[in-house]
Amino acid sequence: MTAELLSRIRKELTVNLAVLREAVLAISERVNRKAQLLKLHWQASDISHKVDSSHRALGAQLFPLLSSGGDLKRHETAMDRPEAAGLLSAATSQVDLLKKELGQIETLVRELEVEAMREDLLKIQQDLSTRYATIERVQVARGAWAVDRSISQMGLSPTTRVAMVLRGPALLHLTDSMVFQSGDLVVLVGPQVEVRRLLPYFGEPQSIRSA
């Protein structure tokens, strides 16, 4: 009897520890992702400051050359001087490198944000599966009823919402006044019947008449 009780306790502890481990891993992944995002934002801010500093340094170096007449040839400006051209070329190269680094950081930030968004959508979908609801992704067609209309004009029920709108690579900030454009990728969440009722509004014009 004691052995059976100990076995049951051990089993319960094993299950609970497994659940706890999964929760800790999920939390740590989110924390790591947020830490990565913060680090990338700091790097982007640092690069932006370096670009500004480069512009200021270039201005300080060019000012004496541009303000002094010197021995300029006919039809020659101060910017035609080898010293000024060299400074401008070096500064341009440095700024181009910094902008390239900034572009790489922006790509990494976008990848992390999309990864987090996918996880959130997966959790929403798992939750919806237990509530007879659905999640649908639809692209706004050219000439669709939804084009140039806002979220508030869609007549969404209280249980249905627009979860996400992608315009090209950009994830849009959702507000009731946000207007749909053709080509937008829209994610709808809600009861199956309600979501299916809304889908024709994002499709070709004839899809509403046939719905």
Quote the longest CA-to-CA distance of the chain. Answer: 108
What is the 8-class DSSP label of residue 45? H
**Residue pair 153/180 in contact by the 8 Å Cβ criterion:** no
As to burial, measured by CB atoms within 10 angstroms (0-12 exposed, 13-18 middle, 19+ buried), residue 186 is: buried
**Residue pair 150/159 in contact by the 8 Å Cβ criterion:** no
Residue 107 CB partners (closer than 8 Å, separation 6+): none
What is the per-residue pLDDT for 210? 52
What is the per-residue pLDDT for 69? 53
What is the per-residue pLDDT for 152? 93
Domain definitions of the chain by residue range: 2-126, 133-210
> Is the CA virtual torsion 99, 105, 111, 115 positive or negative?
negative
Domain 133-210 has CATH 3.30.70.1450: yes
What is the per-residue pLDDT for 160? 87
In Å, what is the CA distance from 40 to each residue of 53, 102, 172?
A: 20, 9, 20
Place of tokens 């999640």: 135
What is the per-residue pLDDT for 68? 61
> Is the CA virtual torsion 94, 98, 99, 104 positive or negative?
positive
What is the per-residue pLDDT for 204? 83
185-191 and 161-167 beta bridge pairing = antiparallel
The model's pTM: 0.43
Query: Distance between terminal CA atoms of the chain?
Result: 65
**Residue pair 151/175 in contact by the 8 Å Cβ criterion:** yes
The continuous run of DSSP H or E covering 195 comes out as helix 192-198
The rounded average pLDDT for each run of 10 residues, N- to C-terminus, in the chain (211 residues) is 48 47 54 71 78 77 65 49 72 79 78 74 65 81 94 89 87 90 91 89 72 52
> Is the CA virtual torsion 65, 71, 77, 83 positive or negative?
negative
In Å, what is the CA distance from 164 to each residue of 24, 81, 111, 127, 135?
A: 27, 55, 16, 17, 11
